[in-house]
Amino acid sequence: MDSLQTRRNANRWTSGSACNANFDVTTVPVFECLDDLLNMSSPIIRPLGRELDVQGLTARLCPVQLQDGTVAILSLAEHVDGDQAEALAAHVLQHGYRLAQPQRYILPAPLLLAVARGQMHPNHDQVGKEPVSSSTALSDAFQEMVEWGVRFGASDLHINIHLREAESEVRFTLSGRYVAPDRFQGIPTRTLLDMLSVIWMDIRGGNGAVFDTFTEQQGSFVRMVDGKPVLLRWASMAAERGPSVCLRLLPREAGLDMPTLDELGYLPHQCEIIESALATHGGAIIFSGAVGSGKSTSLAALMSAVPTDRKIVTLEDPVEYLIPNAVQNSLVRTLRETAHDDYGAKLRTLKRSAMNDVLLGEIRDRETGRAFLDLAGSGVSVYTTTHAPSAALVGDRLASDFIGVPRDFLATPGVLKLIVHQALLPQLCANCCLTLEEMAGVECAPSGAGSWARWLEWLWQMYGIDRDCLRMRRPGGCQVCQKTGSLELAGYMGRTVVAEYLEPAYDHDLLQSIGRGESLEYLSRPAARSCDIHRPESMSSIVQCAMYKASRGLLDVRDVERAFMPLSVQYRRRGLASRWGDGAAA
C-alpha cells in the first residue's frame, strides 16, 4: 500500500471536503492488490451501493461499511477528488452514517468492481464460489477467445452478460451465423464481468474511464494473434438482462493481400461494370447492404485497385482494412460531444489535402450525410457504404430524415455514379453437398411447396433451373467442413457475394425516381423481373444473381429463400400458371 502523495503531484488536489473537514486529499491511501484491502485495520463488511441507491456510481465510486460501523468510499484515482465523491460523502452523512478515517481509498478498477459486486467478505477472501481472478488470468482467457475467433475466420466476438444468472454467454459470428462454441460455454457471469472490466482498460478513444454496465460504450484496441495485429472494435449495449458487448475482429497486418472482387464472388460482368466506374473521375460509388453483408470488404477490395497515380485519402470510424497507397485516417467518433468537433476538423483538413479519391467509411447519420454532400459536390471521386434493402432504395436511405442528403442533390447527374447492393450467402461444401435425389430421401420438401416436384416446377418456371444442376447442403457436413465444431456451419465452406447494381449516371428514370421519392415504383418496373439464367449479364436483381449461383451448384436454393423470399411467395406475386392449380397438393 502507498499514499496518494507518493503517486501524484500534491498541487493537483484541492483543499479539504466541504462536508467533512477531516478529509485530507493528500493522504488518500492507494490499494494496489487484494492483500492491501484484506489488511485494512477495520475490514469491509458490505457494499452500500444498493442501500444508498447509488448503483450507477459503483463502477467508479463505491461506499462500503467497515467493521467499526463507519463508511469509507472506494474510488478510482481520477474520481477521488471530484464533485461526485464530495456529493457521495454528503449523501452518506445524510443517511446517518459516520465517515471512516481515512474516508476515501483509491483502488484499481477490477478490485473496485469486485467489492461493489459483493465479492469481498470479512475474514474471508470472497463470497461465493468464484475467486476474484487476476487481471493477467482474465486477459489470457480473453486472448484465447480472440485467437479462436481469428483462426476460424469469425467477424465478431459477442459477450452477453446475464446479470441475474450464474452463467453468461460467449458467441461468435461465423459465416454470418450467430454461433456458441462448446469450449466457451458455462463461463460464470462474474468472471466475464471482471474480464470486460480488465479489457476496457486497453480501450483507446472510449467513453468512460471504466467499463460501465449501465452505459453504451465504444472504442477500439489492438491484440496480437500469431504475431499479427488484430483491431478489436468495441460496442456495448446496456440491455435488459445485462450489458451486451460486440467486438468486431479486424486483421491489421501491413501488406495483407486483399481479395479481388472476383474472389469475393462478384460475377465477371459485375466486376467489369464496377471497374469501369472506378476508372472515371468524379461521382460516388456506393456499396449498400445489411449489417454484416461484407460492404466494407468489397469497398476495400475496390480501393486496392485504384491506380497508384491517384491520391487516396480515407476518413473511417475506425480504419478497418489497410489499403495500399492510401492515406488513411481513423477517427473514432465516441459518444463525447467534442468527438463531433474532431470529425469536422478532420474533414476540413481532408479537403485541403489535394486528393483525387476519398473513401468515406459509412454514411449513417446527419454528420456523415453532410460530409458526403460536401465531398460529392466538390468533384472528387467518393467511395462509401450505407445500409439499405436494395440498390434502388439507396437514394431514399440517403434522403431520409436520419441522414438528410437533399433529393435534388442526389438526382443531379454526375453525383451518383454507381450503386452496388450486396449480400453474403453460405457457399456449399463441394466435397459433401447432395443432389436433389439424395436430399429428398432425408428431408421433407421446403415449407409452402407441399412436395419436391411442386417446388422444382416453381424453380423451372421462374428461373429455368434444371433439377440436375441443384446441390443441397448435407446436414452434419463432412470432415472437410466440420472445422469449428458448430453444426450450424457444417456443410458449408465460407460465403460468397451475391449482388445487383444500378448506374444512375446512365439511368435518367432512376434519377427522376430518386428526386421525386418514387424509388418503389422504379423497383417494381417489369425490366427488374426479366432474367435468363443462362445469361448472367441479363440479370438485374440480387435474387437473380443468387439463383444463378444456385443453378451452378454453389448455393443451396433454400438458403436463397431464407435470405430473400420463399419461392411460394415469389410464385404467387408473379401470378404464373401451374399445372398444380391454386392450393393443390402434389
Mean pLDDT of 423-438: 92
146 in the same domain as 71: no
> What is the 3-class SS of 314-325, one letter each residue?
EEECCCCCCCCC
We report the CATH number of the domain holding residue 232 as: 3.30.450.90
Mean pLDDT of 42-50: 88
54 in the same domain as 196: no
369 in the same domain as 415: yes
Query: What gap in Å lies between CA 297 and CA 441, rounded to an integer?
Result: 39
Residue 10 has pLDDT above 70, yes or no: no
Mean pLDDT of 299-312: 92
More confident residue, 227 or 118: 227
Q: Last residue of some domain: 391, 423, 455?
A: 423
We report the CATH number of the domain holding residue 412 as: 3.40.50.300
Contact 288, 199 (CB under 8 A): no
Residue 490 has pLDDT above 60, yes or no: yes
Strands of 2-3's sheet in order across: 2-3, 29-30, 99-106, 71-75, 61-66, 44-47
Give the pLDDT score at 382. Answer: 96
Which residues in 335-415 belong to E strands, given as ranges?
A: 357-360, 381-387
Give the pLDDT score at 126. Answer: 38
152 in the same domain as 109: no
Residue 388 in domain:
yes
Give the pLDDT score at 443. Answer: 78
Q: Last residue of some domain: 199, 216, 251?
A: 251
Q: Is the pTM of this model over 0.85?
A: no
Hey, what amino acid is at 455? W
Residue 426 has pLDDT above 90, yes or no: yes
275 in the same domain as 229: no
392 in the same domain as 276: yes
Give the pLDDT score at 529. Answer: 52
Residue 250 has pLDDT above 80, yes or no: yes
pLDDT confidence bin for 498, thresholds 50/70/90:
very high
Question: What is the gyration radius of the CA atoms in the chain, in angstroms?
Answer: 29
Residue 23 has pLDDT above 60, yes or no: no
Residue 482 in domain:
no
Residue 452 in domain:
no
Provide the 10 A C-beta neighbour count for residue 583: 6
Residue 191 in domain:
yes
Count the domains in the chain: 3
Burial (CB < 10 A; 0-12, 13-18, 19+), residue 571, is buried
Give the pLDDT score at 527. Answer: 56
Q: Last residue of some domain: 61, 85, 116?
A: 116
pLDDT confidence bin for 340, thresholds 50/70/90:
low
**Cα–Cα nearest to 339, from 360, 296, 361, 368:** 368
Give the pLDDT score at 495. Answer: 94
More confident residue, 440 or 172: 172
303 in the same domain as 217: no
Residue 121 has pLDDT above 80, yes or no: no
Residue 143 in domain:
yes
More confident residue, 209 or 293: 293
305 in the same domain as 175: no
202 in the same domain as 276: no
Contacts of 581 (CB under 8 A, 6+ apart): none
Mean pLDDT of 396-419: 95
Residue 127 has pLDDT above 60, yes or no: no
pLDDT confidence bin for 438, thresholds 50/70/90:
confident
Outline where 26-82 has alpha helix (H).
Answer: 34-38
Residue 427 has pLDDT above 70, yes or no: yes
pLDDT confidence bin for 9, thresholds 50/70/90:
very low
pLDDT confidence bin for 129, thresholds 50/70/90:
very low
Mean pLDDT of 459-483: 87
Query: What gap in Å lies between CA 428 and CA 557, rounded to an integer?
Result: 11
pLDDT confidence bin for 125, thresholds 50/70/90:
very low
Residue 461 has pLDDT above 80, yes or no: yes
Give the pLDDT score at 535. Answer: 78
Residue 353 in domain:
yes
Hey, what amino acid is at 214? F
Give the pLDDT score at 143. Answer: 94
Peptide bond into 318 cis (omega under 30): yes
Residue 60 has pLDDT above 90, yes or no: no
238 in the same domain as 280: no
268 in the same domain as 376: yes
Contacts of 165 (CB under 8 A, 6+ apart): 189, 241
Q: Which three cell numbers stand for residue 131?
A: 475467486
Give the pLDDT score at 32. Answer: 81
Give the pLDDT score at 123. Answer: 41
Residue 122 has pLDDT above 70, yes or no: no
Work out the percent of the chain whose per-residue pLDDT is above 90. Answer: 47
pLDDT confidence bin for 112, thresholds 50/70/90:
confident
Give the pLDDT score at 586. Answer: 30
Query: What gap in Å lies between CA 103 and CA 25, rounded to an integer?
Result: 10
Query: What gap in Å lies between CA 447 and CA 460, rounded to an integer?
Result: 18
Q: Which domain holds residue 271?
A: 261-423
Residue 449 in domain:
no
Residue 241 has pLDDT above 80, yes or no: yes
Residue 219 has pLDDT above 50, yes or no: yes
Backbone phi, psi, residue 96, to 5°:
90, 10
Residue 242 in domain:
yes
Residue 267 has pLDDT above 90, yes or no: yes
Contact 385, 286 (CB under 8 A): yes
Query: What gap in Å lies between CA 391 and CA 411, rounded to an integer?
Result: 15
Residue 15 has pLDDT above 50, yes or no: no
Range from 40-54, 308-322, 523-537 carrying the lowest mean pLDDT: 523-537
Give the pLDDT score at 466. Answer: 85
Which pLDDT tens digit goes with each residue over 522-574?
887 765 555 677 777 777 899 999 999 999 999 999 999 999 988 888 877 77
Burial (CB < 10 A; 0-12, 13-18, 19+), residue 64, is buried
240 in the same domain as 109: no
More confident residue, 246 or 112: 246
Give the pLDDT score at 545. Answer: 94
